[in-house]
Amino acid sequence: MADDSWKDARVRQAEEALAAAVRTADEIIADAARAAAEHAAPPPPPVPSEEPERPILRDAW
């Protein structure tokens, strides 16, 4: 139905409330995504390029 003449004040008010609720949900989701990005796990420590020094006892085995 392209004609909106059937809509009364209650329908228009319900549509406006729904649109406001959807915007609010989108804002909540965006805020949560930003907060999750801020609390993301720190990057792993860099991998040393050299092999770590082995204990002398290990060489004896």
57 falls within a domain? no
The model's pLDDT over 2-25, given as tens digits with 9 standing for 90+, comes to 677 888 889 889 999 998 888 888
Q: Domain span at residue 34?
A: 1-42
The model's pLDDT over 24-35, given as tens digits with 9 standing for 90+, comes to 888 889 998 988
Rounded to the nearest 10°, the torsion over CA 46, 47, 50, 54 is 110
What does the alpha-carbon distance between residue 26 and residue 18 come to, in Å, rounded to a whole number? 12
Q: How many domains does the chain have?
A: 1
pTM value is 0.40
52 falls within a domain? no
5 falls within a domain? yes
56 falls within a domain? no
55 falls within a domain? no
